[in-house]
């Protein structure tokens, strides 16, 4: 994609600290946000949506063209007309010239009910200055992710080790028969396993505001992919949940392949192409089909 301002400068993807990939122009410092990405930088999404809706009623055409479709962009007047954001009605994307995001960050909130959370303390600009300091030919060194599998295993081991220690102390100091302690341990493990998926449902709803969505609300290609895979594997279509988070993530849990839950974040749809999203979801369905959840549910 080429910059709408420079026209010949190609936009470069940059990953923000919210986990959202934005397109940045090294030449003019402009930023392209795809549809919905701006909402990942604010906690006042309803106010932002209302402000943008009002601005679209007064939109005026510009000579700039959308980097994705090549069609002319519309300028949305914000901040009493003191700030104009370029908007593509076809894709829902938005273009910010250099400094416009910073202007929104420092604006009097009484003029516009919007407060974008900075990517870093100085806003977008610091992140891009750091990126600009890296040579275009030099590979970006990403932070090494922790070994989540090892951490999860150690957590489960620690929890059951603590339970074992408590039961041993009960046997030694409270004179509880060892058979009772063994039965108690088995009952606790069985109870946790049986109720694991429903406890997970509650925790995701309470803490992450997860939304259960029917299959027909997913992208059309993803719907067809899920139905085809489940039909080939002889299993029911999993229940899908979406967490409103900018980081790309996906996981599955449940008891059996036929009561599996697949949970994805909105960041997955924003950062990955459709075939990549389909591959991630197929991977999670594979976990369900291979009974990997049988080991994960007690966690």
Q: Active-site residues: which are they? A: 284
Handedness of CA 210, 212, 216, 217 (dihedral sign): negative
**CB contact at 8 A, 212 and 240:** yes
Beta bridge partners of 213: 240
- Distance between CA 87 and CA 37 in Å, rounded? 13
* DSSP letter, residue 58: T
What's the token pair of residue 97?
A: 């010239």
How far from each other are the two terminal CA atoms of the chain, in whole angstroms?
44
Name which of 292, 281, 247 is nearest 266 in CA terms: 247
| H-helix or E-strand spanning residue 23 | strand 21-24
- Distance between CA 236 and CA 262 in Å, rounded? 12
């Amino acid at each position: 994609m080429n910059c709408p301002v420079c026209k010949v400068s190609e936009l470069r993807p940059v990953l923000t600290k919210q986990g959202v990939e934005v397109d940045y122009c090294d030449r003019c410092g402009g930023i392209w946000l795809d549809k919905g990405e701006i909402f990942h930088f604010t906690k006042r999404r309803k106010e932002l949506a209302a402000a943008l809706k009002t601005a679209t009623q007064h939109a005026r055409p510009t000579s700039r063209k959308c980097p994705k479709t090549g069609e002319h962009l519309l300028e949305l007047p914000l901040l009493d007309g003191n700030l104009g954001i370029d908007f593509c009605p076809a894709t829902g994307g938005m273009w910010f010239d250099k400094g416009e995001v910073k202007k929104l960050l420092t604006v009097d909130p009484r003029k516009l009910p919007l407060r974008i959370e900075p990517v870093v303390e100085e806003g977008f600009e610091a992140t891009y200055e750091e990126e600009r300091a890296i040579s275009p030919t030099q590979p970006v060194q990403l932070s090494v992710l922790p070994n989540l599998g090892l951490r999860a295993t150690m957590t489960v081991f620690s929890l059951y080790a603590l339970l074992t220690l408590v039961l041993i102390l009960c046997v030694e100091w409270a004179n509880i028969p060892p058979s009772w302690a063994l039965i108690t341990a088995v009952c606790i493990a069985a109870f946790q396993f049986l109720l694991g998926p429903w406890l997970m449902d509650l925790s995701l709803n309470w803490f992450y505001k997860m939304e259960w969505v029917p299959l027909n609300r997913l992208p059309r290609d993803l719907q067809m992919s899920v139905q085809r895979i489940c039909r080939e594997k002889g299993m029911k279509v999993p229940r899908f949940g979406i967490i409103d988070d900018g980081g790309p993530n996906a996981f599955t849990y449940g008891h059996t392949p036929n009561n599996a839950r697949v949970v994805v974040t909105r960041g997955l749809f924003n950062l990955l192409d459709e075939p990549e999203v389909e591959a991630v979801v197929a991977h999670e369905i594979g976990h369900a089909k291979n009974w990997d959840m049988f080991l994960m549910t007690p966690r």
